[in-house]
Amino acid sequence: MKREEVFNFSAGPSVLPREALERAAAEILNYNGSGMSVMEMSHRSAFFQEIFDATKAKLKAALNVPDTHEILFLQGGASTQFSMIPLNLLESAEGIADYAVTGNFARIAMKEAKKYGDIRIAASSEADNFTYIPAQEELQLTPGAKYFYYCANNTIYGTEWSYVPETEAPLVCDMSSDILSRPVDVSKYGIVYAGAQKNMAPAGVTVVIIDKSLAGREMPITPLMLSYKTMIEKDSMYNTPPCWCIYMLGLTLDWLEKQGGVAGMEAIKHEKAKMIYDILDNSRLYKPHARVDSRSEMNITFRTGDADLDAQFAKEAQARGLMNLKGHRSVGGIRASLYNAQPMEGVKALADYMKEFEVKHHV
């Protein structure tokens, strides 16, 4: 298939802005008169330092990151943060943290943290198959907790927090699948982090935005590479950073700015998600997974109630260029990821297909 014939609904790694890919292609053999590809140059070179500083400045501007916070470009995926956070913030094995378990990744993060300290479950929607996000009143907060952990958007189940939890403990938030899709008041957070491959860049860089006052408390057993303090002091360059991914993130941020930044992105995402949820709400075939008040605008999950028909939905979609609509292997069903770089035409094509499929298959 030609790229022009395809709309990619992958949950991650996922679609990137065409403009960013085209610029990368144009510069791939010779970046800015350096005679080298970004992939080939020293991370200590002036050429790369300029890319690094500019990308950081663009991200700082896009999310309005206050000077109290540092932006880090780390490796090991979002999952490495599951260990890095407790190691750096719990202070000792007696350290307490509250976790909201609202999906697969929050549950893994909670289990990992248990290796290092006293981890409490502030709320869990697991008994309801992660169909909803708990309300503020339902959160059981522990006085003296070192931090409160949650995942803003649950990529697999298609639910998202519609509010910022109010806690005394610093907020730590996994925004892997919704960062840059809406404005965020970063000053409310101790740590915001996100793996890049959902909504920012290729897999390989993890953005961490950390309140600098939280650094320097790591447990003595903390591996060198997992110390926020070290990474802040060395400006993410203690070792070789993921240079190419940082460069790609910069190109995505240039594109984002032209779309009206995160506020522009939020308006577009409301429109895109509404198009699909309107169909689900008026359908006699499709059953949405998420409770209405907990719906994600990034990952929309639903099923027909018949696993074979779900599979047929994804297969026939693929034949017409609507790719990667199969739900996560752990939950089945159908999932459409509508990240920033998913064009409106892609969502319209999906909407048309959903209506056609329903007419053909509803009995």
Ligand X SMILES: *Cc1c(COP(=O)(O)O)cnc(C)c1O
In this complex, which beta carbon is closest to ligand X, that of residue 245 or of residue 285? Answer: 245
The DSSP secondary-structure symbol of 34 reads: S
Distance, in Å, from the CA atom of 310 to the CA atom of 17, rounded to the nearest integer, reads: 29
Helix axes 261-281, 344-361, angle to 10 degrees: 10
Question: Counting Cβ atoms within 10 Å, is residue 47 exposed (0-12), middle (13-18) or buried (19+)?
Answer: middle
Distance, in Å, from the CA atom of 104 to the CA atom of 248, rounded to the nearest integer, reads: 28
Size of the chain in residues = 363
Any contact of residue 95 with ligand X (CB under 6 A)?
no
Find out whether the peptide bond into 288 is cis, omega within 30 degrees of 0: no
Q: What is the smallest separation between the CB atom of 278 and ligand X, expressed in angstroms?
A: 25
Q: What is the smallest separation between the CB atom of 308 and ligand X, expressed in angstroms?
A: 28
Any contact of residue 12 with ligand X (CB under 6 A)?
yes
Q: What is the smallest separation between the CB atom of 346 and ligand X, expressed in angstroms?
A: 20
In this complex, which beta carbon is closest to ligand X, that of residue 108 or of residue 349? Answer: 108
Q: In the stretch 185-204, what mask flags binding to ligand X with x, by CB under 6 A?
A: ----------x--x------
Q: Which stretch binds ligand X (CB under 6 A): 169-177, 220-228, 255-263, 329-337?
A: 169-177
Any contact of residue 112 with ligand X (CB under 6 A)?
no
In this complex, which beta carbon is closest to ligand X, that of residue 326 or of residue 353? Answer: 326
Helix axes 243-258, 18-27, angle to 10 degrees: 130
In this complex, which beta carbon is closest to ligand X, that of residue 105 or of residue 353? Answer: 105
Q: What is the smallest separation between the CB atom of 170 and ligand X, expressed in angstroms?
A: 19
Q: 278: how many CB neighbours lie within 10 A of its CB?
A: 11
Distance, in Å, from the CA atom of 52 to the CA atom of 63, rounded to the nearest integer, reads: 17
Whether 125 and 134 have beta carbons less than 8 Å apart is answered as yes
Q: Which stretch binds ligand X (CB under 6 A): 36-44, 115-123, 172-180, 300-308?
A: 172-180
Q: What is the smallest separation between the CB atom of 274 and ligand X, expressed in angstroms?
A: 22
Binding residue (CB under 6 A) for ligand X from 151, 226, 276, 350: 151
Name residues whose C-beta falls within 8 Å of residue 149's C-beta, 6 or more positions apart in sequence.
85, 97, 98, 99, 100, 106, 109, 110, 113, 172, 173, 174
Site for ligand X in 39-78 (CB under 6 A): 77-78
- The first and second tokens of residue 303, run together, are 């099923």
Any contact of residue 339 with ligand X (CB under 6 A)?
no
In this complex, which beta carbon is closest to ligand X, that of residue 85 or of residue 151? Answer: 151
Any contact of residue 10 with ligand X (CB under 6 A)?
no
Q: What is the smallest separation between the CB atom of 176 and ligand X, expressed in angstroms?
A: 4
Any contact of residue 155 with ligand X (CB under 6 A)?
yes
Count of residues engaged in binding ligand X, rule: CB under 6 A: 12
Any contact of residue 208 with ligand X (CB under 6 A)?
no
Task: Specify the residue for token string 């110390």.
Answer: 227
Any contact of residue 174 with ligand X (CB under 6 A)?
yes
Extract long-range pairs of 230-238: CB within 8 Å, 24+ residues apart: 231/72, 231/74, 232/70, 232/72, 236/52, 236/72, 236/73, 236/74, 237/43, 237/44, 237/52
Any contact of residue 177 with ligand X (CB under 6 A)?
yes
Q: What is the smallest separation between the CB atom of 79 and ligand X, expressed in angstroms?
A: 3
Whether 250 and 229 have beta carbons less than 8 Å apart is answered as no
Binding residue (CB under 6 A) for ligand X from 105, 130, 302, 353: 105
Task: Name the CA dihedral angle for 15, 20, 21, 24, rounded to a multiple of 10 degrees.
Answer: -150
Any contact of residue 14 with ligand X (CB under 6 A)?
no
In this complex, which beta carbon is closest to ligand X, that of residue 95 or of residue 158? Answer: 158
In this complex, which beta carbon is closest to ligand X, that of residue 89 or of residue 298? Answer: 298
Site for ligand X in 254-313 (CB under 6 A): none
- The first and second tokens of residue 37, run together, are 């590809």
Residues near ligand X (CB under 6 A) are: 12, 77-79, 105, 151, 155, 174, 176-177, 195, 198
